[in-house]
Amino acid sequence: MSLAGITKEERGESMTEALIQMKHICKSFPGVKALNDVSFDLKAGEVHALVGENGAGKSTLMKVLTGVYQCDLGEIFLNGEKLEIRNVRDAQSKGIVMIHQELNLMNHLTAAENIFIGREYRKGMKLFLDKQKQNRKAADIFKEMNLEIDPDVKVGDLSVAKQQMVEIAKALSYESKVLIMDEPTASLTENEIEDLFSIIRMLKEKGHAIIYISHRLEELAAITDRVTVMRDGTYVGTSNTHEVTTDEIIKMMVGREIFVTKQGEFQHKEAPVTLEVRHLHAGKMVRDVSFTARKGEILGFAGLVGAGRTETARAIFGADPHESGEIFVNGREVKIHSPSDAIRSGIAYLSEDRKQYGLVLGLDVDINIALPNMEKYHKNGFIQFAKSEKNSTEQTELLTIKTPSIKQKVKLLSGGNQQKVVLAKWLTKNSDILIFDEPTRGIDVGAKNEIYKLMNQLAEEGKTILVISSELPEIIRTCHRVIVMYEGRITGEVSGAEINQDAIMNYAAKKA
């Protein structure tokens, strides 16, 4: 049962069994020791989970294995033979391929073009692209994966789930033996996750070895054989997945126990209505949406993908236009045509897609937090940098953002820590109505809990909070009341003790 401290011999494994062995890997960046003497092994035909808090070093370890980074110290073996991996191509040629946390596809190219980018099929003395052959080859791979994707479709027109599948197809086209998936399910819904799992099981049966990074610990039992835990750049332990509980894994990840509390009944039923939306129509995905939210209330929006939750939020925030309907803030009708109208009315929206809407990756943490809040720091035509830095430092501590300093470029932070920076800048805004869209995507269990506490605190201070989340446990745990949507319409509402998975799912699949 115990994880750490078991030798391979005790586990009945011999060293030769490992397909990949990483030994004593060290890697530092300026101001950060990302990996400190980490060892890791992977067997043929296994799905091996790699877990740890945000910034623990998971992505970095895998980037060392795939040649994105060179390690400072340490060795890598493939089938017992020492490997020199100098770049991504070296790794690919050995059949080691990674699907990154942020997908790397070209939206304007087709699925087939993305798969074979840089190694296109050619004809006529290699002068011309052999589009037919390329599409045929892509179709073969999709067929093998039991997928219905047109090789000729532009990747930008596919759902995130399908884009993920194209990335996997691309990885398979390299005849990969080792496939690394960095948080593949972070943006997928339940059904899509099941599809991904079927593909993983099929790959496993065909003898591929898979390294699976995820913050959704409840998935591990369904799909992985072993789990390795990292903490603060070090190796903590490895165990057979079915021999550990989620609680034990969490304890190894964070070094302490985490207590989870469920939200109770909303106590201030007579509190003033702060936000009222009447008969909102916006495009196909928002159909006659009406609801109210009160001061101090945490209101959840649940539903399947395509239910129209994000579209509703975007319409309220003025990020997308709406055709008809009224929005009232504190009892007064407000006309919202753009995000700045919404912000002026006291509404902030934390987008689900941090990369596209949230952050300027090339700028530092402090500036990213300050950017939407400049009006706070202006005085007599000058920007009060010290004030902004003080706030950024406080937010960094409050949200436990792991960074050597607030002057670090955001693109150098780990995925989960980038998400926390997005949170920090909207919290700084201090708006009265906060819309959180997938607030904890990619965030580790410990920090998630901190964010739930923070939401409670904000609600208690009198803010109104709207939460959109595809993770039902998150909705169930955090919300006083939950609105369920299906195909752009509200199909039901549950509150207090009635909030549970069955009640929500019942409405989520129902026509209004």
Please give the span between the terminal C-alpha atoms of the chain, in angstroms, as a whole number: 49
From the list Mg ion, ligand ATP, none, partner contacted by residue 422 (C-beta under 5 to 8 A by kind) = none
Binding mask 17-36 for ligand ATP (x = CB under 6 A): ------------x--x-x--
Angle between helices 385-398 and 415-429 (to 10 degrees): 120
Identity of residue 436: F
Q: What is the CA radius of gyration of the chain?
A: 24
For every residue of 369-425, DSSP letters joined together read HHGGGHHHHEETTEE-HHHHHHHHHHHHHHTT---S-TTSBGGGS-HHHHHHHHHHH
Cα 185 to Cα 213: distance, rounded to the nearest angstrom: 9
Give the nearer residue to ligand ATP in terms of CB position, either 294 or 402: 402
The closest alpha carbon to 301, from 494, 510, 511, 498, belongs to 494
Give the nearer residue to ligand ATP in terms of CB position, either 57 or 492: 57
Q: Which two tokens stand for residue 224?
A: 């992985």
Give the nearer residue to Mg ion in terms of CB position, either 401 or 476: 401
Under rule CB under 6 A, residue 151 binds ligand ATP:
no
From the list Mg ion, ligand ATP, none, partner contacted by residue 237 (C-beta under 5 to 8 A by kind) = none
Residues from 379 through 398 that contact Mg ion (CB under 5 A): none
377 within 8 A of 383, measured Cβ to Cβ? yes
Of 57, 233, 415, 488, which one interacts with Mg ion (CB under 5 A)? Answer: 415
Give least dist CB 188 to ligand ATP, A: 16
Give least dist CB 215 to Mg ion, A: 9
Cα 79 to Cα 119: distance, rounded to the nearest angstrom: 27
For Mg ion, how many residues bind (rule: CB under 5 A)? 3
Give the nearer residue to ligand ATP in terms of CB position, either 134 or 414: 414
Under rule CB under 6 A, residue 187 binds ligand ATP:
no
Give least dist CB 100 to Mg ion, A: 9
Q: Which two tokens stand for residue 396?
A: 């960094």
From the list ligand ATP, Mg ion, none, partner contacted by residue 54 (C-beta under 5 to 8 A by kind) = ligand ATP
Distance of CA 314 to the CA centre of its chain: 19
The span of 315-323, 349-357, 413-421, 475-483 binding ligand ATP (CB under 6 A) equals 413-421
Indicate the residue whose CB is closest to Mg ion.
59
Which residues in 245-277 are b (16+ Cβ under 10 Å) and which e?
Answer: eeebbbbbbbeeeeeeeebeebeeeeeeebbbb
Strands 73-78 and 81-83, sheet pairing: antiparallel
Give least dist CB 58 to Mg ion, A: 5
Under rule CB under 6 A, residue 59 binds ligand ATP:
yes
Angle between helices 160-173 and 190-205 (to 10 degrees): 10
The span of 14-22, 58-66, 158-166, 465-473 binding ligand ATP (CB under 6 A) equals 58-66
Neighbours of 308 (CB within 10 A): 23
Under rule CB under 6 A, residue 55 binds ligand ATP:
yes
Give the nearer residue to ligand ATP in terms of CB position, either 318 or 416: 416
The closest alpha carbon to 52, from 417, 411, 396, 409, belongs to 417
Under rule CB under 6 A, residue 92 binds ligand ATP:
no
316 within 8 A of 342, measured Cβ to Cβ? yes
Residues from 278 through 297 that contact ligand ATP (CB under 6 A): none
Under rule CB under 6 A, residue 52 binds ligand ATP:
yes
Give least dist CB 416 to ligand ATP, A: 3
Give the nearer residue to ligand ATP in terms of CB position, either 163 or 417: 417
Which residues in 38-67 are b (16+ Cβ under 10 Å) and which e?
Answer: bebbbeeebbbbbbbbbbbbbbbbbbbbbb
For ligand ATP, how many residues bind (rule: CB under 6 A)? 19
From the list ligand ATP, Mg ion, none, partner contacted by residue 57 (C-beta under 5 to 8 A by kind) = ligand ATP
Give least dist CB 168 to Mg ion, A: 18
Q: Which two tokens stand for residue 101?
A: 């946390």
Cα 117 to Cα 133: distance, rounded to the nearest angstrom: 14
Of 3, 21, 42, 54, which one interacts with ligand ATP (CB under 6 A)? Answer: 54
Give least dist CB 59 to Mg ion, A: 3
Give least dist CB 356 to ligand ATP, A: 18
Query: Which residues are 406's β-sheet partners?
Result: none
Of 21, 25, 59, 347, which one interacts with Mg ion (CB under 5 A)? Answer: 59
Give least dist CB 378 to ligand ATP, A: 31
Of 21, 25, 47, 57, which one interacts with ligand ATP (CB under 6 A)? Answer: 57
Give least dist CB 101 to Mg ion, A: 5
Binding mask 101-130 for ligand ATP (x = CB under 6 A): x-----------------------------
Under rule CB under 5 A, residue 308 binds Mg ion:
no
Strands 32-43 and 47-51, sheet pairing: unpaired
Cα 348 to Cα 37: distance, rounded to the nearest angstrom: 43
For every residue of 267-289, DSSP letters joined together read S-TTSPEEEEEEEEEETTTEEEE
153 within 8 A of 113, measured Cβ to Cβ? no
Of 417, 431, 440, 449, which one interacts with ligand ATP (CB under 6 A)? Answer: 417
Point out which residues bind Mg ion (CB under 5 A). 59, 414-415
Point out which residues bind ligand ATP (CB under 6 A). 29, 32, 34, 52, 54-60, 101, 402, 412-417
